[in-house]
Structure 1
Amino acid sequence: MSRHPKPNLHGHKARKRFGQNFLHDPYVISNIINAIYPKDDDCLVEIGPGMGAITEPLLEATGKLNVVELDRDLIPILRTKFFNYPGLQIHEGDALKFDFSQLAEPGKRLRIIGNLPYNISTPLIFHLLSHHALVQDMHFMLQKEVVERLAAVPGNSDYGRLSIMTQYYCKVELLFIVGPGSFNPPPKVESAIVRMTPYETLPIVAKDTKMLQTVVREAFSMRRKTIRNTLKKLISAEQLEALGIDTQLRPEVLTLEDYVRIADAVLQLSEQAEKENGTE
């Protein structure tokens, strides 16, 4: 009797701690693949392949794929299921800590795909945005509410830090909605497919993106208050008015351009303060 029994391809139970909900609807899978439109020479990366529902058609289309999987019990299942695809590279690890730059090929940018666990989707998106220059596009299955936040425009109640920082780097498109019945086990919420395409040249450039993140985080720390109150630790009402900002507005009304302008001004103020303190 073998000491290494053949992995059970059907017996793996979804794990709550990994936020696993396995996609099984062939119609939805087909729509996702059509949206991605994978080509032979693409540098494809799948995050959280699970039982391989999207992995299989991606491999059929291109013959090669990098996957990043945290659940070590799924890895032998994937190796067995796709043993006849030598182009499948499995990386065991946490996508939140994974260095995606190691997967880039000369002259190619990454195309990243994933049915992302709801519990890590926001920090993972921020992690991937740090690699934006290496990425051609990203297609993700996310909680519908998260996709609505990603794609929200100023004045919308869903508009916030996630919308602004994602849209600073990427064009965001909500492609279609996916119901709970397309998964096993079914989640308690609706999902959606989003496409995020990083800009080759940023349409608006902040002098310091860390300062932009700081300003946006402060602005939305108390989103029911006016911008003059939420940003008072960083910039005065008079200084905001000098930038052409109506200080009575709430944070969700200001545009990305407004926030970049504020962040650049706050950076200049902090540099001036440092210079003055240094000469005393």
Structure 2
Amino acid sequence: MRLTSPSTIKYIMEKYNFRFSKRLGQNFLIDNTTVENIINGSGITNNDNVIEIGPGIGVMTYDMAKIANKIVAIEIDNSLLPVLGETLEEFENIKIINGDVLKLDINKIIEEEFGGKFPKVIANLPYYITTPIIMKLLEENANVTDIIVMVQKEVAERIVSKPSKKSYGVLSVAVQYYAKASTVMKVPRSVFMPQPSVESTVIHLKIRENPPVKLLSKPFFFRVVRAAFAMRRKTLLNTISGGNLGINKEQTKELLSNSNIDSIRRGETLSIDEFALLSNNIYKFVNDVEN
């Protein structure tokens, strides 16, 4: 039976008395072509290990197991464990972990399950928790090479956005500091059961070996970024001087000038390089004053 078949899903639900959880945002794929395109877009080979977050009933897991070396699937819903035990029983290269990925030590799992070899992460996540999971993997420096994840269309637009675009913001800068972000494919609501209320997009995050900019302080860099976007309609002169960074308006104007940034520009026009230069200059100034 095809796991993407609605009749198969209904059969499984009846057999295991399973009900879709709104709390967990469960939506299962019911289109083979979409599954194939996501897997193809991930570039998985038989040399690759995979961490799958949110396998559901194993729709993508099943097809990935035919290709990948080993898969560790992390599923938070323990009522799906017996389902996965049946749908994936023919494969010996799959391990299921029942747990909340936000509470798990991903690098410990990678070391224990893959001998330290960096895997790819593939996920079809509930939209309410997509960003926290992506940022956990990035900020905790999870030892992974790629993250291929399906997200809400608007979130995807923000993640891959470039300066001067309406969708460009803190999330754009944060993700692109850690990874090269690109769009794999758009996914319509009609390929899910039950249908979500929003459209979806699959994105590919290629983890950078080194950050794209050199920073004196990464935490301070992100403080500057958040300050710049705190009031999108205001100029950098106003947002930076009002961002609790330890500088007044006159000092801000001088530091912007020293960074070759016009004080009437807005945060959404700055590239990561410009944010890095500005944050480094402010950081040096603030620390020189304190010392």
Q: Is the 8 A contact 2:159 2:181 kept in 1?
A: yes
Match of 1:261 among 258, 261, 277: 277
Tell me which residue corresponds to 2:262.
246
Tell me which residue corresponds to 2:139.
130
CA separation in 2, counterparts of 1:264 and 1:110? 34
Tell me which residue corresponds to 1:58.
64
By how many angstroms is 1:131 displaced?
4.0
Cα deviation digits, residues 116-148 of structure 1 (max 9, x gap): 111011111111112446121111111111111
The change in CA–CA distance for 1:189 and 1:172 in structure 2 (over 3 A counts) is same
Matching of residue 142 in structure 1 with residue 158 in structure 2: no
Could you say what secondary structure the match of 1:231 adopts?
helix
Structure 1 unaligned residues grouped into runs of 5+: 1-7, 276-280
Tell me which residue corresponds to 2:8.
none
Tell me which residue corresponds to 1:87.
93
Q: Is the 8 A contact 2:70 2:94 kept in 1?
A: yes
Tell me which residue corresponds to 2:182.
173
Identity over aligned pairs, percent: 35
By how many angstroms is 1:106 displaced?
4.3
Tell me which residue corresponds to 2:5.
none
Could you say what secondary structure the match of 1:9 adopts?
helix
Cα deviation digits, residues 95-129 of structure 1 (max 9, x gap): 22222101323462120000011101111111111
Cα deviation digits, residues 39-79 of structure 1 (max 9, x gap): 22212100111111111101121252101111111122112
The change in CA–CA distance for 1:182 and 1:245 in structure 2 (over 3 A counts) is same
Match of 2:124 among 110, 115, 126: 115
By how many angstroms is 1:153 displaced?
0.4
Tell me which residue corresponds to 1:272.
288
Tell me which residue corresponds to 1:25.
31
Larger mean Cα displacement after TM superposition, 214-223 or 94-103: 94-103
Tell me which residue corresponds to 1:3.
none
Q: Is the 8 A contact 2:125 2:151 kept in 1?
A: yes
User: Residues 99-114 of structure 1 correspond to what in structure 2 (within 5 A)?
Assistant: 99-104=105-110, 105-106=114-115, 108-114=117-123
Larger mean Cα displacement after TM superposition, 146-155 or 129-138: 129-138
CA separation in 2, counterparts of 1:209 and 1:268? 13
**Paired amino acid for 2:88:** F
TM-score of the pair, normalised by structure 1: 0.90
By how many angstroms is 1:224 displaced?
1.2
TM-score of the pair, normalised by structure 2: 0.87
CA separation in 1, counterparts of 2:116 and 2:276? 31
Could you say what secondary structure the match of 2:103 adopts?
coil
By how many angstroms is 1:36 displaced?
1.5
Runs of 4+ in 1 over 3 A off after TM superposition: none
Structure 2 unaligned residues grouped into runs of 5+: 1-10
CA separation in 2, counterparts of 1:146 and 1:112? 18
**Paired amino acid for 1:9:** I
Q: Report the count of equivalent residues.
A: 268
Q: Is the 8 A contact 1:45 1:67 kept in 2?
A: yes
CA separation in 2, counterparts of 1:20 and 1:133? 25
Q: Is the 8 A contact 2:189 2:195 kept in 1?
A: yes
Tell me which residue corresponds to 1:9.
12
CA separation in 1, counterparts of 2:179 and 2:69? 28
Q: Is the 8 A contact 2:48 2:69 kept in 1?
A: no
Tell me which residue corresponds to 1:5.
none
Q: Report the RMSD for the aligned CA atoms in angstroms.
A: 1.6
User: Residues 213-232 of structure 1 correspond to what in structure 2 (within 5 A)?
Assistant: 213-232=222-241
CA separation in 2, counterparts of 1:245 and 1:259? 10
**Paired amino acid for 1:56:** Y
**Paired amino acid for 1:91:** I
CA separation in 2, counterparts of 1:14 and 1:30? 24
CA separation in 2, counterparts of 1:176 and 1:186? 18
By how many angstroms is 1:164 displaced?
0.5
CA separation in 1, counterparts of 2:35 and 2:94? 19
Cα deviation digits, residues 9-66 of structure 1 (max 9, x gap): 2342221111111112111001111111322221210011111111110112125210
By how many angstroms is 1:237 displaced?
1.8
